[in-house]
Amino acid sequence: VDTAGLRKRSRRQDTEYYSSLRTFRAVARAHIVLVMIDASEGIVNLDARVAGEVMEAARAVIIVANKWDVVAKYAEPDEDYPDLDYDKVEKTLRQDFERIVRHELKFLSYAPLVHTCALTGEGVDELLQRAGQIREQFERRIDTGPLNRVLRDAIAAHHPPTKKGRQPRLYYATQVRTGPPTFVIFTNDPTLIHFSYKRYLSNQLREAFGFEGTPLRLIWRARGKRDRPKE
């Protein structure tokens, strides 16, 4: 999804702009979406809106900072500063740019950021390599045994907080789908699970199994402890 191209069309004609946004229907059919932003302009509102559409569609995603060569010019040698370490300057530029992206698109924290230049081909090989790896993560299936060991360890390290005097209990988990990886977690009452604890468990799954560039879906279902299947 080339957000820079959408911006140009939006300036020409609002009708065409909104028509372009309708193409996001194709996102739902994709395995991986490349959200391409103009590095020379930084993150704008439309970039965030497009990224939000990708998140809602639960597609694997890579954030592509195109036209990085324009930004990198600030790190080119300058006769006025002959002793400056320009490799270090570009590294700092990359770090600063990534901090901005992570702040503005914090809901895509799992998405890798790749710097490219469409004119020279810089970064394209890395982009293709990442895309292949993320496709595998998008279709990855975790066995029930390792999955529940991670769940038990996560609970032991940080128990879910009580809600209105009631203690949430998490019994077991199972993966029911790939593309994106979807997990059902059985509990005594799904309404007792705070959103922050859901985020915590999602982060624990990522820490244990990777899932770079891949959204995770956690589905919460009520079930009694006696209904837990034998391992």
The verdict on 13 and 85 lying in the same domain is yes
Residue 160: which CATH number? 3.30.300.20
- Give the model's pLDDT for residue 71: 87
**End of a domain among 138, 158, 176?**
138
Higher pLDDT, 81 or 208: 208
- Based on the fold, state whether residues 77 and 109 are members of the same structural domain: yes
pLDDT of 22 above 80: no
Q: Render pLDDT for 85-142 as a digit per residue (tens, 0 to 9).
A: 777 888 889 999 999 999 999 999 999 999 999 889 999 999 999 999 999 999 999 9
Q: Say whether both 10 and 75 belong to one domain.
A: yes
Sign of CA dihedral 56, 98, 199, 162: negative
Residues 53 and 118 in one domain: yes
The reply to whether 85 and 131 lie within a common domain is: yes
**pLDDT tens profile 63-73:** 999 999 998 88
State the pLDDT confidence band at 16, using cuts at 50, 70 and 90.
very low
| Domain end call among 119, 138, 157 | 138
Asked which of 138, 163, 192 is the last residue of a domain, the reply is 138
Check whether residue 121 and residue 199 sit in a common domain.
no
Higher-pLDDT residue of 93 and 7 is 93
Geometric angle at alpha carbon 59, from 56 and 60, rounded to 5° = 135
Identify whether residues 132 and 209 lie together within a single domain.
Answer: no
Predicted model pTM: 0.82
pLDDT in tens, 165-198: 999 999 999 999 999 999 999 999 999 999 999 9
- 86 and 51 assigned to the same domain: yes
String of DSSP letters for 115-159: E-BTTTTBTHHHHHHHHHHHHHHHT----HHHHHHHHHHHHHHSP
Residue 57: its H or E element: helix 45-57
Q: Are residues 68 and 93 in the same domain?
A: yes
Question: How many domains does the structure of the chain reveal?
Answer: 2
Same domain, 120 and 221: no
Cβ atoms within 10 Å, residue 216: 17
Domain that holds residue 161: 144-227
CATH number of the domain where residue 113 is located: 3.40.50.300
How far the first Cα of the chain sits from its last, in Å, is 44
Q: What is the C-alpha separation between 219 and 231, in angstroms, rounded? A: 21
Please give the C-alpha separations between residue 149 and each of 75, 155, 173, 211, in angstroms, as whole numbers: 47, 10, 10, 17
